[in-house]
Amino acid sequence: LLIHTGVTRYLEFKSIEGSYVLGKSGKISKVPADEKEALSSDLMGLFEKRRFKNFLVFVQEFDLENPASWKDVDPNKTTMEELYKKYSLDENTCDFVGHALALYRDDEYKTRPCLDAIKRIKLYSNSLAKYGKSPYLYPLYGLGELPQGFARLSAIYGGTYM
């Protein structure tokens, strides 16, 4: 909506410094933004990090138009739970992927086809690559800038913003 209306011409954004997750142990951990942070993260053990890396490589190379990139996974039939099992990811990593990367609020996504989750994880990863340490942007001077930007845009075209 912001890009479609052109209101971003009147706003400045900054990248959020990072995102954090609360683990099952009650400890708050930073979501790794690069390979160095991932290696030093306490979210996963050493072997789990390797399996997670293989999973992320699959997600990044996945192309809906190229069935060869599916690697025996039918995105319209395979559930996310089955995909996790294929890569032998443990429960904590599955929770991390589903809630911190794909941004699902509950675990229902695990029983649905994995295509939507793969698209969400790719979007997170692409946003991370584009904006740096975090995929999230925030208006530089706070959320009050959003209605102010729309009011400016409305005034330029002779409208009244209420």
CA distances, 112 to each of 77, 109, 115, 125, 148 (Å): 8, 5, 9, 21, 40
pLDDT at 119: 95
pTM for the model:
0.81
For residue 86, pLDDT beyond 90: yes
User: Helix (H, G, I), strand (E, B), or coil: what is residue 9?
Assistant: helix
Give the Cβ contact number of residue 64 at 10 Å.
Answer: 12
How far CA 143 is from CA of 8, 33, 140, 147, in Å, comes to 13, 25, 8, 8
In which residue are the tokens 């192309």 written? 63
- pLDDT for residue 98: 92
Instruction: State what percent of residues in the chain have pLDDT above 70.
Output: 99
Q: How far apart are CA 24 and CA 95, in angstroms?
A: 10
pLDDT reading at 108 higher than 90:
yes
In this predicted structure, the answer to whether residue 35 has a pLDDT above a threshold of 80 is no
Output the furthest CA–CA distance in the chain (Å, rounded).
Answer: 61
CA distance 100 to 20: 8
